[in-house]
Amino acid sequence: MKNDLEQECKQILIDEGIAESSTIDFEVNKKVHTLTFAYIIETFMSASEESRVVFYEALKKSVDAKDMGVDRFFEGMGQLLLMTHLSKKIGL
């Protein structure tokens, strides 16, 4: 199931004409962190089955949302991953 949903997510990118190697930069404390769309997908696909399904469904909805779009979806998901990682790193 994990690989199927991961492939489905990557297929959505292909269908939208977006390279999975596309990146988003985040600046935190004057340090730039760069995440690829593929990394964001792969990280969420390593979570629980429920989380994978929620991510996939939200990605599908972002394609249909004119005001949000796929880029903003990945920006939000990347920000969530980065903040989760950094909070674990500093022991929050």
Q: What is the full per-residue pLDDT of the chain (92 aa) written as tens digits?
A: 568 999 999 999 999 999 999 999 998 889 999 999 999 999 999 999 999 999 999 999 999 887 678 989 999 999 999 888 777 766 54
pLDDT of residue 91: 57
Question: Could you tell me the pTM of the whole model?
Answer: 0.86
Can you say whether the dihedral through the CA atoms of 43, 45, 49, 55 is positive or negative?
positive
- Residue 23: its H or E element: strand 23-28
pLDDT of residue 19: 95
Instruction: Domain of residue 11: give its range.
Output: 2-89
pLDDT of residue 90: 61
Q: Which residue has the tokens 């730039």?
A: 32
**Considering its fold, how many domains does the chain have in total?**
1
pLDDT of residue 7: 96
